[in-house]
């Protein structure tokens, strides 16, 4: 099982990766964890990464690729791995492909966790971490508690989980990472999983997608919608406006006709009544044996 997990920050990649790791015995290789470890140890690369992460930006590729290569060289990664948080753009994907080919471990699948933006904001802004055991919690499920239920330690919020930084992180993701969907789809490796709902349900969908056989690239067709030219758009808009005006005029005529209908109906009824009265008068005159008087 050699897979890459894609998804916005807060989509649950880390949680689901841990579950796959526990069940299949392959290591979760999180670029974020690798970088935070380097930051915690105070290495030169770690200090550079710290400044970048706190600003809500992405760490340079050479740092991350170097950490990943070292991690995959360990014995526990011989039967596979779960990459979480890298790559984030096509250039990184190409570099990763070259690295994996070089070490003889090409990808089997790429799993995309699809989660709505409002859900991502709620998850990230409410995320709290235990400094001792590393367990991740969310304030929305802690019922006001501020300490770890296991260790009793005060929970903390990562600097890149603050709302102003979250907004920038999501913008960076949408701009740079989303094109990977088409990139991996063309390679026949992409699997999209609904990332909202119960954890067990998401894991079942994730597991099924991870074990699915990859499609040959030749059988995959990825199409993109063509943006119409300006002249075509203007012409279509004018045509639609003309049609709208015709409908409006027709509607106005119908309303006017309906409004005047009662008056015309009353006038016709009055004329019929007058005619019947005239006929009745003539008939009465004949019965009386005299001609009806003519109008002068």
We report the CATH number of the domain holding residue 141 as 3.40.50.300
On whether both 51 and 156 belong to a single domain, the answer is: yes
| Residue 191 falls in the annotated catalytic set | no
How many domains does one find in the chain? 2
69 catalytic? Reply is: no
Of the candidates 2, 50, 128, 169, the residue annotated as catalytic is: 169
**Which residues does 183 contact at the CB level (< 8 Å), separation at least 6?**
90, 93
Task: Extract the tokens encoding 22.
Answer: 């526990």
Could you read off the pLDDT tens digit of each residue along the chain, which spans 296 residues? Answer: 899 998 888 888 888 888 999 999 999 998 878 888 878 888 777 888 888 878 887 778 988 898 888 889 889 999 999 998 788 789 999 999 999 999 999 999 999 999 998 888 888 888 889 998 988 888 888 887 889 988 889 999 888 888 888 888 888 888 877 789 889 999 999 999 999 989 899 999 999 998 886 555 555 454 444 434 444 434 444 554 454 455 455 656 655 666 665 666 677 777 888 888 787 777 777 777 655 555 54
- Which among 82, 143, 89 has a CA at the least distance from the CA of 110? 82
Residue 158 falls in the annotated catalytic set: yes
Residue 234 structural domain:
227-296
Indicate if 264 and 119 belong to the same structural domain: no
> At which of 154, 189, 219 does a domain end?
219
Domain boundary among 151, 185, 219: 219
Last residue of one domain, picked from the residues 194, 219, 244: 219
**CB neighbourhood size of 187 (10 A):** 16
Known catalytic membership, residue 168: no
97, 159: one domain: yes
């Amino acid at each position: 099982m050699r897979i890459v997990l894609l998804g916005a920050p807060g989509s649950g990649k880390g949680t689901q990766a841990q579950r796959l790791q526990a069940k299949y015995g392959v290591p979760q290789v999180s670029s974020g964890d690798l970088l935070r470890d380097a930051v915690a140890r105070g290495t030169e690369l770690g200090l550079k990464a710290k400044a970048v992460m706190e600003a809500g930006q992405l760490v340079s590729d050479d740092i991350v690729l170097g950490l990943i290569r070292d991690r995959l060289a360990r014995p526990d990664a011989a039967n596979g791995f779960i990459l979480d948080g890298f790559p984030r753009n096509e250039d990184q994907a190409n570099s990763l492909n070259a690295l994996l080919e070089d070490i003889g471990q090409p990808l089997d699948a790429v799993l995309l966790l699809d989660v709505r933006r409002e859900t991502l904001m709620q998850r990230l802004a409410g995320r709290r971490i235990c400094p001792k055991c590393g367990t991740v919690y969310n304030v929305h499920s802690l019922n006001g508690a501020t300490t770890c239920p296991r260790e009793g330690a005060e929970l903390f919020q990562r600097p890149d989980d603050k709302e102003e930084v979250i907004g920038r992180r999501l913008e960076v993701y949408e701009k740079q990472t989303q094109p990977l969907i088409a990139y991996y789809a063309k390679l026949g490796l992409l699997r999209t999983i609904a990332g909202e709902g119960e954890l067990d349900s998401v894991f079942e969908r994730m597991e099924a997608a991870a074990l699915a056989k990859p499609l040959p690239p030749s059988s995959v067709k990825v199409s993109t919608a063509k943006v119409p030219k300006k002249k075509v758009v203007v012409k279509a808009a004018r045509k639609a406006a003309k049609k709208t005006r015709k409908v409006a005029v027709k509607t106005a005529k119908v309303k006017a006709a309906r409004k005047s209908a009662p008056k015309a109906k009353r006038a016709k009824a009055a004329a019929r009544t007058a005619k019947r009265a005239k006929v009745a008068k003539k008939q009465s005159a004949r019965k009386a044996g005299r001609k009806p008087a003519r109008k002068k």
